[in-house]
Amino acid sequence: MTFENLKLIAAKKKAPLDAAGKRRARLLHQINKQIDFASKFAPARAQRGRWFQQEADGSFTLAIRYGRRDLELSKGKFAVSCTSTDELIKALEAARLHCSKGQFDDQLERISGEIRQGFRRN
């Protein structure tokens, strides 16, 4: 294959993400993973790392998690109640939108600081 008919340019390097951008990207990846879990949900199949549980009445409870800790979605509220998998997916998409806008950045910074504290030697 030759590149005679194509316009060749120098490769542009992508600017590295700052710490907040890395945390946000990690959370976005996990939210996308949860959307995949929800779209393939089967009650009899256990999935490791799933953020949502099905209640006895068939509804779902979803907690957005980062580093094994639940994010506070509203003052004192840490979970979303959903009646169906479609509503569950909509809630996860709303969380993805909030995350991409940086609305969880303060909590992510605080939680990652707490996690780092656990690794320090005394």
The string of pLDDT tens digits covering residues 71-88 is 999 999 999 999 999 999
Per the structure, the complete domain to which residue 79 belongs is given by 19-41+52-105
Could you tell me if residue 14 is inside a domain?
A: no
Distance from first CA to last CA of the chain, Å, rounded? Answer: 61
Could you tell me if residue 121 is inside a domain?
A: no
Could you tell me if residue 29 is inside a domain?
A: yes
pTM confidence score: 0.82
Query: Residue 2 above 80 pLDDT?
Result: no
Amino acid sitting at position 48: R
Could you tell me if residue 11 is inside a domain?
A: no
Per the structure, the count of domains in the chain is: 1
The mean pLDDT of the chain is 91
Pairwise CA distance, residues 36 & 87, whole Å:
14
On whether the CB atoms of residues 112 and 23 are closer than 8 A, the answer is yes
Supply the DSSP symbol for 83: S
Could you tell me if residue 64 is inside a domain?
A: yes
Could you tell me if residue 3 is inside a domain?
A: no
Could you tell me if residue 112 is inside a domain?
A: no
Confidence of residue 1 (pLDDT cuts 50, 70, 90): low
Q: Which of 20, 30, 22, 31 is nearest to 97 (CA)?
A: 31
Could you tell me if residue 78 is inside a domain?
A: yes
Amino acid sitting at position 23: R
